[in-house]
Amino acid sequence: MRKTAKVNDDQLVSFIDHGGTGPAVLLLHSYLMDADMFAAQVQALGGAFRLIAMDERGHGDTSAENPFTYWDVARDALGLLDELGVARCAVIGTSQGGFIALRMALLAPQRVAALALLGTSGSAEDPEVAAGYRQAAAAWRENGPTQELLDLNAAICLGQHDATEWQAKWRRLSGDHIDRVLTPLVERDSVLDRAREIGCPALVLHGSADAAYAVDRARELASALPNAEPPVIIDGGAHFLSLTDAEAVNPHLRAFLDRSLDVE
């Protein structure tokens, strides 16, 4: 069941605390998704960890009334941990969630015990790709969420995975809303030059069929993080691979969390 917490003075954040007595793990979802995208991880990992999934600004039941950056969302996440009395936790972030997880670790390294980063990048968005996304957002604003736009988003993010449930959610989004949540993505800064400051254990996973970021982004990120393991490449994995390729991903997540958090 979703609950709401007030963080950073006046930002309301929707979240699901799945409970459990094991070490805390924060789950950070992808662009245009919400906390529900981690259902497979909750099923696979919930017996060993306290899993907390939040709806990030402008996603799920968390509003975004004003412009924001991923640094702001990272502060939201840290504020949520404060509200829940969680001093330190591991963070799993997919795509956009990885952008936020990295910024959490830079803002408060003592709070992040381990990072699992899936289908993400430490770089700024490629200008040509950003221009393409803005063009699609303009079409959404002008014509609404046409099936062509919904299918395009699904192909980039979910590959061959069934997108029916998520497309139904996307259909409810206005063009103004798309602009609001896309801007942080296409205008984000690179954190690669600061990645050496992130000393916690890190695991980078990436799909070989990721349509948003080449596998080189995973290698680049793993190389920049001082305590990252060699990247794990999931054969045929799509961009949002914690959802699309959960069966292949979950054993890697479980093993990494076990050894990073000293789970017996």
The average confidence (pLDDT) of the chain is: 97
- How many Å separate Cα 111 from the centre of its chain? 18
Contact 202, 117 (CB under 8 A): yes
- Please report the pLDDT score of residue 21 as a whole number: 87
Please state, in angstroms and rounded to a whole number, the distance separating the CA atoms of residues 128 and 133.
9
Please state, in angstroms and rounded to a whole number, the distance separating the CA atoms of residues 47 and 103.
28
Please state, in angstroms and rounded to a whole number, the distance separating the CA atoms of residues 92 and 70.
15
pLDDT in tens, 157-214: 999 999 999 999 999 999 999 999 999 999 999 999 999 999 999 999 999 999 999 9
At 127 the three-state DSSP class reads helix
At 109 the three-state DSSP class reads helix
Contact 149, 178 (CB under 8 A): no
Contact 18, 52 (CB under 8 A): yes
Contact 82, 7 (CB under 8 A): yes
- DSSP for 228-256 reads BPPPEEETT--TTHHHHTHHHHHHHHHHH
- Please report the pLDDT score of residue 66 as a whole number: 92
- Please report the pLDDT score of residue 19 as a whole number: 93
Return the residue matching tokens 């479980």.
254
Return the structure tokens found at 167.
């497309």
* Residues 6 or more apart whose Cβ sits within 8 Å of residue 254: 44, 45, 48
Is the pTM of the predicted complex or chain greater than 0.95? yes
pLDDT in tens, 36-95: 999 999 999 999 999 999 999 999 999 998 999 999 999 999 999 999 999 999 999 999
